[in-house]
Amino acid sequence: MTRDFEGKTEQDAIRMAIEELHIEREDFDVEVIDNGKHGLFKRGNVKIRVHIDTDTEPEQEKEIKLPEAPEYDYEEDSLEEGEEEEETLEPDEEFESSVCSFIEGIVKHMGYDCKAKVVSRKGRKICIDIESDDSSIIIGRKGKNLDALQVLANVYGGKTDSERKIIVDSEDYRERHEEQIVRSAYKVAQQVRKTGRSRLLEPMNPYERRLVHTALNDVTGIETKSEGTGLYKQVRISSTKKYR
């Protein structure tokens, strides 16, 4: 089954397809039939063709076996060649207690009770876990609230000790989110290898995109590249095999 959609950008057209067809992004392939560029100063709408696989068999295919999601730490920037990993800083109880109290105060202003505590230290990073009966609200949709708390905690902590990086988590959300990203990337890669049509993943931050690039780096016949501008870009998964 195929349907055509158009929008100001490819992502707009994809969003229209999702809303009109009431399906998830991973349930269809996208073929760009008109990129909207009609000249140096002329630009129109982007037109895409949505390919919906009505066959239920692909769910049972095992062309790419989904491995256990690799364990990633929370480092945002990978080490450059020749650079040594940082030494773990000594625990600073006064600093850590102050940051935990700050986080608890912010959450209290949000209207919820919680307990923040340091659960791990690695390199210059400390991971603080938030325990609360309202953890789902504290985490927020796609971890947005948790990310905001992490930014605030790093701004606050940076005034005292700029060498320490603070990771804020709750109910192992970040680990579960990373596993979901990697598994989704493998699933899409499987579909790309089968159809030969490239697929765009949803916009992700630099760390999330690196998870995808790393996970699919050794998958035969698949290549990935980031597209877009700004902090949140999309990863395009493509087949290296030439289809006629």
Note down the domain range covering 108. 93-171
Residue 30 forms beta bridges with which residues?
A: 50
Residue 71 included in any domain: no
Q: What is the pLDDT of residue 157?
A: 94
228 burial level (CB within 10 Å; 0-12, 13-18, 19+): middle
pLDDT per residue as tens digits for the range 155-199: 999 999 988 999 999 999 998 999 999 999 999 999 998 888 899
20 burial level (CB within 10 Å; 0-12, 13-18, 19+): exposed
Non-local (6+) Cβ contacts of 42 within 8 A are none
pLDDT per residue as tens digits for the range 51-66: 776 543 333 333 334 3
Closest CA to 47 of 98, 75, 5: 5
Non-local (6+) Cβ contacts of 24 within 8 A are 18
CA-CA distance, 65 to 61, in Å (whole number)? 9
Cβ–Cβ < 8 Å for 166, 128: yes
Closest CA to 138 of 98, 178, 97, 171: 171
Supply the pTM of this predicted model: 0.58
User: Taking 70 as the threshold, does the pLDDT of residue 72 lie above it?
Assistant: no
Q: What is the pLDDT of residue 117?
A: 95
Token pair, residue 60, equals: 């049972």
Query: How many domains are contained in the chain?
Result: 1
Which domain CATH number covers 117? 3.30.300.20
Residue 18 included in any domain: no
**pLDDT confidence bin for 69, thresholds 50/70/90:** very low
Residue 84 included in any domain: no
Residue 153 included in any domain: yes
